[in-house]
Amino acid sequence: MGKYASRTARNLPPTEIVPAVLAMLCRDLYDIPLLVTLTKLAGDHPALAPARLMARRIDVLEPKVRAGVVDAIREAADLAIQLDVGLRALPETIERAETPESE
Amino acid sequence: MTPKLLIVDDGDRHVELLHQFLRGYTYATRCDLPGPCWTCPSRPGCTLTHAHDLGEAQEALLRHPDVEVVLLDVVFDLPEARLAPLSDLTRTLSLTARQQLQGLDILHALRRQDAHLPIVLMTAAEELEYEDAAMSLSADEFATLAGAEAFDARVLELLIERVLARRRAHPAAGGYAFGSTSKMARLRRDAETLARTSLPMLVLGETGTGKSALVEQVIHTASRRPGPFVAVDLAALPETLVAAELFGTARGAFSGAVDRPGRFEAAHRGTLFLDEIGNLPLDSQRLLLLALEDGKVTRLGETTPRAVDVKLVAATNIDLTDAARRGAFRADLFARLNPAAALHVPPLRERMEDLPELATAFVARAFSAGADRALLVEYCERAGLRGPPSVTLKLGRPSPHASGVQLVLAEATLTALRRHAWPGNVRELELVLSSAAVFALADGLAALGEKQPQPAASVIPIPARLVRDLLTPLTQAVSMGLHFTVAPTPTLHGQPRSLERQLYERLFEETSGDFALMALRLLGKETPADARRVQLRFNQLGLRARGRPTSPKK
């Protein structure tokens, strides 16, 4: 899920974002509702709290992203990349949380 | 030169990303419209931008034989009827699992057609649920996985350049076969060093030593110039047309002249290779000197010069020092070509230590693609050999642990090859060995016939008689005074094939299509079996007897 959400975000050019690229970004972020999908896949697992926060923020940015507001686009793209990184690291995060601290 | 990519993906996601973020390449599409897809007015909703399954990929490769890299998705959500044939990897898997690994079955099918086509799989090893799948890919030196991260255009571009460089340098895939001698190592080092300068270069060597291949495969590639490689065979051009061909024409320059750029302009920002520079007429030598000095060319019939940025490489097999002394070649132009730094490509007889390595590379190259690869695939299937179709040349004796087909050249035959004078140099060597290998495999296939596969079916000896017979006709061709036209071909593999095609075409005409008579000329015998072998090779070369005048059957 993170891979598809971040696909265009990872490749955004540092200069102007042309309409075709913006359309691709919107498809990646908003064709499938991220927060709803996360909840459906993983329920309320506490380890997913950071990911749910990021997904909720991406959803909130949708109107500005679609309107082409550059700051909103960059923020949503960064969040998508962080979401992907966080989801990939999830097994390790859960394992660390569940391993009792050594004395 | 801009590499061409083919995308194979059941969806559009990769296509859009690649078209947007990797615009430094051209893309093989399934339509006839020119220009890139991202500027095409028919783009919205177009399904011809890439291939969606194996069938469309094969169609696209036929339409675009210049595809250099395939970008291949792994998961294909396709109905069973559209899936590629099962491979060893997927034979026991469910339909869903096959769809998850469809990219690998497509890769397997494409490998049967071309052993060295670079393929980048759009996934990471850890994303492949089947460890066997990832392991099997490590055996394919021209396939690579896209890496651990999600789609990253910069990483993908590096991977594409890596597989491209590997293929271009690999002798069995068409890369220049340097061999291992110190003089060839020095030649390689000097060629790559001089390639990176803007100075003109001169390449000297006998006919058939691989001068053209050195210029295209090594010098142009090492120069990293963004423009194209343009080659001109000055021996093939009528003297009266040389200037027009090189410098272009303007309407009205002479009767029938139109506005047309010359080869200099066509090679702008790239490499212009002038082969057989000794054949350049004196008046064109003056124009060439001006172009080198000013960096500008003027089309015939015009007065306004045009700036061109060209890396000029010239080649010849004649003594230009002597030609300059006689006044047949301008001394000032000769000096401009930097003769002190000329690259000397040695004749094969001066580097016989390389013969085993060259022979091995040429045999592998012979079966890398085309009709001969299809022959290899058929042999492997009929012989029951598992794994990707492959062939290696073994010198002396076969290896007990090698996979694929082993073609064995006896020591005595190798000795005979070493004793041959090789007037046609490396080109002749490749022609002899590739023909011997193909004939031996064809004979092996015929011998398999209806028999059950034998354990030793993977080992095929190359008969000494066959090599001896092949060495003779080329000597005869030289003594017959046949003139071969050398024209650029897309791959090095095309050069000996071009030479062989011309030989067979000339003999077909001379004998009025009598294959028995051709066999007598080529093999010294005219039995029905020999005539059939000649006809088989005639067909393998893509030549057709139908429609040509033939002699009545005896």
Q: pLDDT digits over B30-81, tens only?
A: 887 777 887 787 777 788 889 999 999 999 998 888 899 999 988 899 999 9
Check pLDDT > 60 for residue B551: no
Q: pLDDT digits over A38-81, tens only?
A: 777 777 777 788 888 888 899 999 999 999 999 999 999 999 99
User: Whole-angstrom Cα distance, residue B445 to residue B383?
Assistant: 8
For the segment A3-8, the average pLDDT, to the nearest whole number, is 84
Tell me whether strands B229-233 and B271-275 are parallel, antiparallel or unpaired. parallel
A1, A3, A12, A82: best to mutate for the B interface, most B CBs within 10 A = A3
pLDDT at B200: 94
Check pLDDT > 70 for residue B386: yes
Pick from B34-38, B105-109, B177-181: least confident:
B34-38
* Chain A residues near residue B153 by CB distance under 8 angstroms: 11
Q: Among A11, A13, A21, whose Cβ lies nearest the Cβ of B151?
A: A11
Per-residue pLDDT band for B212 (boundaries 50, 70, 90) equals very high
How far off is chain B from A70, nearest CA to CA, in Å?
18
Angstrom distances, CA of residue B219 to CA of B197, B275, B505: 10, 14, 33
Q: Which two tokens stand for residue B381?
A: 């299937």
Q: Is A84 close to B152, i.e. CB distance below 8 A?
A: no
How far off is chain A from B382, nearest CA to CA, in Å?
44
* Chain A residues near residue B21 by CB distance under 8 angstroms: 11, 13
Nearest to B200 by CA among B99, B93, B292: B292
Question: Residue B391 is which amino acid?
Answer: V
B33–chain A Cβ distance below 8 A for any pair: no
Q: pLDDT digits over B314-372, tens only?
A: 999 999 999 999 999 999 999 999 998 999 999 999 999 999 999 999 999 999 888 89
pLDDT at B140: 76
Check pLDDT > 80 for residue A35: no
Q: Is B20 close to A2, i.e. CB distance below 8 A?
A: no
Compute CA A51 distance to the chain's CA centroid, rounded to the nearest angstrom. 7
Give the predicted TM-score (pTM) of the model: 0.71
User: Whole-angstrom Cα distance, residue B299 to residue B290?
Assistant: 13
B14, B16, B123: best to mutate for the A interface, most A CBs within 10 A = B16
* Chain A residues near residue B17 by CB distance under 8 angstroms: 7-8, 11, 24
For the segment B177-189, the average pLDDT, to the nearest whole number, is 88
Q: Is A84 close to B150, i.e. CB distance below 8 A?
A: yes
ipTM comes to 0.72
User: Whole-angstrom Cα distance, residue A54 to residue A80?
Assistant: 8
Number of H helices, E strands in chain A: 7, 0
Q: Which two tokens stand for residue B11?
A: 């969806």
User: Whole-angstrom Cα distance, residue A36 to residue B267?
Assistant: 56
CB neighbours of residue B249 within 10 Å: 21
Pick from B10-19, B227-236, B402-411: least confident:
B10-19
If one compares A5 and B292, the residue with the highest pLDDT of the two is B292
Per-residue pLDDT band for B552 (boundaries 50, 70, 90) equals very low
Within the 137-196 window of chain B, which residues sit less than 8 Å (CB to CB) from chain A?
A: 149-153
If one compares B151 and B422, the residue with the highest pLDDT of the two is B422
Check pLDDT > 70 for residue A27: yes
Kindly write down the DSSP assignment for every residue of B469-530, as one continuous string.
HHHHHHHHHHHHT--------SSTTHHHHHHHHHHHHHHHHHTTT-HHHHHHHHHS---HHH
B124–chain A Cβ distance below 8 A for any pair: no
* Chain B residues near residue A10 by CB distance under 8 angstroms: 149-152
Residues B388, B116 contacting (CB under 8 angstroms): no
Q: Is B153 close to A11, i.e. CB distance below 8 A?
A: yes
- Cβ neighbors of B501 (< 8 A, separation 6 or more) are B541, B542, B543
* Chain B residues near residue A20 by CB distance under 8 angstroms: 16, 20, 38
pLDDT at B497: 76
DSSP lists the bridge partners of residue B314 as B202, B274
State chain B's mean pLDDT as an integer.
85
Q: Among B20, B151, B152, whose Cβ lies nearest the Cβ of A21?
A: B20
Q: Which two tokens stand for residue B390?
A: 């492959």
B9, B14, B20: best to mutate for the A interface, most A CBs within 10 A = B20
Check pLDDT > 50 for residue B486: yes
How far off is chain A from B86, nearest CA to CA, in Å?
29
Nearest CA in chain A to B22: A11
Q: Among B20, B152, B153, whose Cβ lies nearest the Cβ of A20?
A: B20
How far off is chain B from A3, nearest CA to CA, in Å?
5
pLDDT at A33: 78
Q: Among B13, B38, B152, whose Cβ lies nearest the Cβ of A11?
A: B152
Q: Is A10 close to B16, i.e. CB distance below 8 A?
A: no
Q: Is A7 close to B20, i.e. CB distance below 8 A?
A: no
A7, A25, A81: best to mutate for the B interface, most B CBs within 10 A = A7
Q: pLDDT digits over B396-448, tens only?
A: 988 887 788 999 999 989 988 998 889 889 999 999 999 999 999 998 888 88
pLDDT at B554: 39
Q: How many CB pairs under 8 A join A and B?
A: 30
Give me the residue label for tokens 């009205």.
B252
Q: Is A7 close to B16, i.e. CB distance below 8 A?
A: no
Q: Is A10 close to B17, i.e. CB distance below 8 A?
A: no
How far off is chain A from B17, nearest CA to CA, in Å?
7
Compute CA B141 distance to the chain's CA centroid, rounded to the nearest angstrom. 18
User: Whole-angstrom Cα distance, residue B201 to residue B192?
Assistant: 11
- Cβ neighbors of B322 (< 8 A, separation 6 or more) are none
* Chain A residues near residue B152 by CB distance under 8 angstroms: 10-11
Nearest CA in chain B to A85: B149
If one compares B477 and B265, the residue with the highest pLDDT of the two is B265
For the segment B15-27, the average pLDDT, to the nearest whole number, is 85
The DSSP secondary-structure symbol of B215 reads I
B13–chain A Cβ distance below 8 A for any pair: yes
* Chain A residues near residue B20 by CB distance under 8 angstroms: 11, 20-21, 24
